[in-house]
């Protein structure tokens, strides 16, 4: 983490950076550009913050894709004294924030007894328990609330067709607009799986195989500020806050600690999605460079507004407190 402290009283502004890449594709999620945006914004604010007081942080946040670096950092208190955290994600649209789904990742491991498939009555099939659980969890989908999703795979199911498998496993993601409901759905699924496992004569172990992600708390005052800055910079077709929660991100953990914004900047056409080679290539193109400048300037100017107008910062923090009170 890079820190510049003026030594004078004032707010602490954090610019978040990401940098993990994807296997084979490389930076198909644009984390290299996110890192550059955060560093550039931090350097820009450092040039003027002495006039106002406070601190600038450039926070490197590893392992966003699977292991939730921001979650561990939030739990460790990295953001406890931060007044506002900002970042921008590259992609196929310009935007000022979006809700994200809470995520509960569960692994179900089934333990049975192996036997030759010609004498299956001497064994207990872990795969049967996994397959029945997979079907039962699928049936749960019709009873869950809107904007909630369940998706999973049979991770292990045996090695040979002529052997009754003594081990099988399922991996699932349970997503919902709030963590409380994601947990509720995952707990229902767990109870189903335990019942099936018992009926089948197997033993089941349930674990979180990846880091759970909180949903993202939206701060509309920050979103409005970034909209103004984007417009002043000539950024076009700016999408307002996306109210429908979709994917999940570890930014959610930060958003429960302090007012947070994750904007978007367009560097690829509408038909190019995330986690693609095309987006990876775009991060080091002219469009990527243009997006970097717009995004870094935009969030640096938002931070400057908050330094220049303490009352505005208090409004941002008041909205945060009000929103968290509603969610609690």
DSSP output for 30-44: -HHHHHHHHHHHHHH
So what's the pLDDT on residue 169?
A: 99
CA-to-CA distance for 88 and 257, rounded, in angstroms?
A: 18
So what's the pLDDT on residue 245?
A: 81
Q: What are the Cα distances from residue 155, in Å, to 138, 188, 212, 231, 325?
A: 16, 21, 19, 47, 40
Residue 91 CB-half CA count within 13 A: 16
User: What residues form DSSP beta bridges with 84?
Assistant: 13
So what's the pLDDT on residue 147?
A: 93
So what's the pLDDT on residue 124?
A: 98
So what's the pLDDT on residue 16?
A: 98
DSSP secondary structure code for residue 201 in this structure: T
So what's the pLDDT on residue 247?
A: 87
So what's the pLDDT on residue 317?
A: 98
Q: What are the Cα distances from residue 138, in Å, to 74, 126, 143, 152, 197?
A: 34, 19, 10, 9, 16
CB–CB of 27/280 below 8 Å? yes
Residues in CB range of 328: below 8 A, 6 or more apart:
none
So what's the pLDDT on residue 328?
A: 80
Per-residue burial over 107-125, b if 16 or more Cβ lie within 10 Å, else e, is bbbbbbebbeeeeeeebbb
CA-to-CA distance for 204 and 193, rounded, in angstroms?
A: 8
So what's the pLDDT on residue 108?
A: 99
Question: pLDDT tens digits, residue range 173-229?
Answer: 999 999 999 999 999 999 999 999 999 999 999 999 999 999 999 999 999 999 999
Domains of the chain with CATH codes: 2-100+215-327 (3.40.630.10), 102-207 (3.30.70.360)
So what's the pLDDT on residue 208?
A: 97
So what's the pLDDT on residue 80?
A: 97
Q: Report, as ranges of residue numbers, the positions in the chain whose pLDDT lies below 70.
A: none
So what's the pLDDT on residue 98?
A: 93
Question: pLDDT tens digits, residue range 75-99?
Answer: 999 999 999 999 999 999 999 999 9
Q: Which two tokens stand for residue 251?
A: 């930014």
So what's the pLDDT on residue 69?
A: 93
So what's the pLDDT on residue 11?
A: 98
């Amino acid at each position: 983490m890079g820190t510049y402290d003026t030594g004078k009283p004032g707010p602490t502004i954090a610019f978040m950076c990401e940098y993990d890449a994807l296997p084979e594709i490389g930076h198909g999620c644009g984390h290299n550009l996110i890192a550059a945006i955060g560093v550039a914004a931090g350097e820009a604010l450092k040039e003027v913050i002495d006039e106002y007081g406070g601190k600038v942080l450039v926070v490197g946040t590893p392992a966003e894709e699977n292991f939730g670096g921001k979650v561990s950092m939030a739990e460790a208190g990295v953001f406890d004294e931060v007044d506002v955290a900002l970042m921008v994600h590259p992609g196929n649209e310009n935007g000022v924030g979006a809700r994200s789904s809470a995520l509960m990742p569960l692994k179900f491991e089934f333990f049975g007894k192996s036997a030759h498939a010609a004498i299956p009555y001497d064994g207990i099939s872990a795969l049967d328990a996994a397959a029945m659980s997979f079907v039962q969890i699928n049936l749960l989908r019709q009873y869950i609330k809107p904007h909630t999703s369940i998706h999973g795979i049979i991770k292990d199911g045996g090695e040979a067709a002529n052997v009754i498998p003594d081990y099988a496993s399922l991996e699932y993601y349970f997503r919902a607009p709030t963590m409380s409901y994601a947990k509720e759905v995952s707990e229902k699924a767990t109870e189903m799986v335990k019942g099936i496992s018992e009926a089948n004569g197997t033993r089941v172990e349930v674990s979180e195989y990846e880091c759970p992600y909180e949903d993202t708390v939206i701060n509309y005052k920050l979103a409005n500020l970034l909209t103004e800055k984007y417009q002043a910079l000539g950024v076009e077709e700016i999408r307002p806050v996306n109210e429908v929660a979709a994917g999940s991100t570890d930014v959610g953990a930060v958003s429960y600690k302090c007012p947070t914004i994750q904007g978007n900047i367009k560097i690829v056409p509408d038909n190019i999605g995330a986690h693609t080679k095309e987006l990876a290539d775009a991060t080091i193109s002219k469009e990527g460079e243009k997006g970097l400048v717009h995004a870094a300037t935009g969030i640096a100017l938002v931070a400057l507004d908050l330094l220049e107008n303490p009352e505005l910062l208090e409004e941002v923090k008041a909205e945060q407190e009000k929103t968290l009170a509603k969610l609690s």
